């Protein structure tokens, strides 16, 4: 069984892209050596409200447990509670280059049009590399938007190893067959995201009626065929969503919906999405009403994470020449 680490930012409300791109696999495939991190250090790279950050950190934990993460199996923890993340990030800062960070598309997107950009935002991918490398993760289950960051992590690890001797494990990103990049329902050329606004994003916390309405209003394409094609981004996205929630192949779905009108197709997609999200939303509500248990599980997760992270840091410190 491969060692796994993945992470999520406690910013904005979780949406169906997070669930289908990453979380559903975290829960399905979890093992004792799998680590999942709520990355609050990453969340402060952009302007934020401290009180809201604390609330969202706990809320995203509720969502992850609601999706099926089991504290008796995998370890879910909060990044800032394991100090080694910041420590390894500093060491890796001295291995990563300005040139490779300048090439990161997420930095370009997030910094665009901003007058003042934090050094932390520029350095974001190095901290992400530290998250992954601390746990010797072989696999990183993520959505397609994270591929470039995981590739950078490999490059940094490789450079560290060739400079200081074999220490860090080279990870690879893994993606779902369907749902690796769910697009916004209104702006179909943009990935669904917490920052785009909620009209085109299906939030896990939406009511069933809200979800149905958003899907029924999703931008579709000219023509009337339910078929995945480059000139049909709206329908392609809904088919991908349907494939991800049902497990059916796009081909099977195209056959199933052959001759179906867009409106009827969308109604079926809405029903399927609601069917999958309903139990998660119910469980989230239960967990949110007893936060004591959630805090306790996070604390245990952090203890387990610290143990592994401390072992890696001992090796790293020794390799780079720090006094032990």
Q: Give φ, ψ of 258 to 5 degrees.
A: -60, 125
Decide if residue 21 touches ligand TYM (CB under 6 A).
Answer: yes
Decide if residue 145 touches ligand TYM (CB under 6 A).
Answer: yes
Which of these, 91, 93, 78, 6, lies nearest to 41 by C-alpha position? Answer: 78
Q: How far apart are CA 321 and CA 319, in angstroms?
A: 6
Decide if residue 143 touches ligand TYM (CB under 6 A).
Answer: yes
Decide if residue 242 touches ligand TYM (CB under 6 A).
Answer: no
Which of these, 311, 320, 322, 301, lies nearest to 38 by C-alpha position? Answer: 301
Among 6, 81, 174, 274, binds ligand TYM (CB under 6 A): 6
Q: How far apart are CA 269 and CA 120, in angstroms?
A: 40
Stretch that binds ligand TYM, among 50-58, 69-77, 139-147, 288-296 (CB under 6 A): 139-147
Among 24, 27, 38, 39, binds ligand TYM (CB under 6 A): 39
Selecting among 191, 214, 232, 266, the annotated active-site residue is 191
The answer to whether 110 is a known catalytic residue is yes
Decide if residue 244 touches ligand TYM (CB under 6 A).
Answer: no
Q: How far apart are CA 127 and CA 294, in angstroms?
A: 25
Q: How far apart are CA 235 and CA 230, in angstroms?
A: 10
31 three-class SS:
coil
Q: What is the separation of C-alpha 243 from the centre of its chain, rounded to a whole number of angstroms? A: 19
Task: Give me the residue whose beta carbon is nearest to ligand TYM.
Answer: 21
Q: How far apart are CA 42 and CA 59, in angstroms?
A: 17
Selecting among 108, 172, 194, 300, the annotated active-site residue is 194
Number of residues that bind ligand TYM (CB under 6 A): 27
Stretch that binds ligand TYM, among 112-120, 124-132, 265-273, 297-305 (CB under 6 A): 124-132
CB atoms within 10 A of CB 225: 14
Bridge partners of 139, per DSSP, are 4, 172
What ranges in the chain are assigned the alpha helix state H? 16-18, 24-28, 40-43, 50-66, 84-93, 98-102, 105-111, 119-134, 147-164, 208-216, 233-246, 250-256, 262-288, 291-320
Which of these, 9, 131, 5, lies nearest to 60 by C-alpha position? Answer: 9
Among 34, 42, 154, 212, binds ligand TYM (CB under 6 A): 42
Decide if residue 236 touches ligand TYM (CB under 6 A).
Answer: no
Decide if residue 7 touches ligand TYM (CB under 6 A).
Answer: yes
Q: What is the pattern of x (binds ligand TYM, CB under 6 A) and - over residues 155-194? A: ------------------------xxxx--------xxx-
User: Rounded to the nearest whole angstrom, what is the least distance from the CB of residue 305 to ligand TYM in the complex?
Assistant: 13
Stretch that binds ligand TYM, among 15-23, 28-36, 208-216, 221-229 (CB under 6 A): 15-23
Decide if residue 200 touches ligand TYM (CB under 6 A).
Answer: no
Decide if residue 237 touches ligand TYM (CB under 6 A).
Answer: no
The answer to whether 266 is a known catalytic residue is no
The answer to whether 194 is a known catalytic residue is yes
Judged by CB, which is closer to ligand TYM: 132, or 253? Answer: 132
Task: Show which residues are catalytic.
Answer: 110, 191, 194
Give contact residues for ligand TYM (rule: CB under 6 A): 5-9, 17-18, 21-22, 39, 42, 128, 131-132, 140, 142-143, 145-146, 149, 179-182, 191-193
């Amino acid at each position: 069984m491969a060692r796994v680490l993945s992470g999520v930012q406690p910013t904005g409300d979780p949406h169906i892209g997070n669930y289908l791109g990453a979380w559903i696999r975290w829960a399905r495939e979890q093992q004792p050596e799998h680590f999942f991190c709520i990355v609050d250090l990453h969340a402060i790279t952009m302007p934020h409200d401290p009180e809201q950050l604390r609330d969202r950190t706990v809320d995203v934990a509720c969502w992850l447990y609601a999706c099926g993460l089991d504290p008796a199996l995998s370890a879910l923890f909060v990044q800032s509670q394991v100090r080694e993340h910041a420590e390894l990030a500093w060491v890796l800062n001295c291995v990563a280059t300005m040139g490779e960070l300048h090439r990161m598309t997420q930095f370009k997107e997030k910094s665009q049009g901003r007058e003042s950009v934090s050094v932390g935002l520029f350095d974001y991918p190095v901290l992400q590399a530290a998250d992954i490398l601390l746990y010797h993760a072989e696999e990183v289950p993520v959505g397609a938007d994270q591929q470039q960051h995981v590739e950078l992590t490999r490059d940094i690890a490789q450079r560290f190893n060739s400079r200081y001797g074999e220490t860090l494990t080279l990870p690879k990103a893994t993606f779902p067959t369907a749902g690796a990049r769910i697009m916004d329902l209104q702006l179909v050329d943009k990935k669904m995201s917490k920052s785009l606004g909620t009209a085109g994003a299906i939030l896990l916390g939406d009511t069933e009626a809200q979800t149905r309405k958003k899907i029924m209003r999703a931008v579709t394409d000219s023509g009337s065929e339910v078929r995945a094609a480059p000139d049909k981004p709206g329908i392609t996205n809904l088919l991908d969503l349907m494939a991800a929630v049902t497990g059916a192949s796009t081909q099977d779905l195209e056959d199933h919906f052959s001759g179906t009108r867009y409106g009827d197709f969308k109604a079926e997609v809405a029903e399927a999405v609601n069917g999958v999200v309903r139990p998660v939303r119910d469980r989230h509500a239960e967990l949110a009403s007893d936060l004591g248990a959630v805090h306790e599980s996070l604390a245990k997760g952090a203890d387990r994470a610290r143990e592994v992270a401390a072992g890696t840091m001992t090796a790293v410190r020794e390799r780079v020449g720090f006094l032990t």
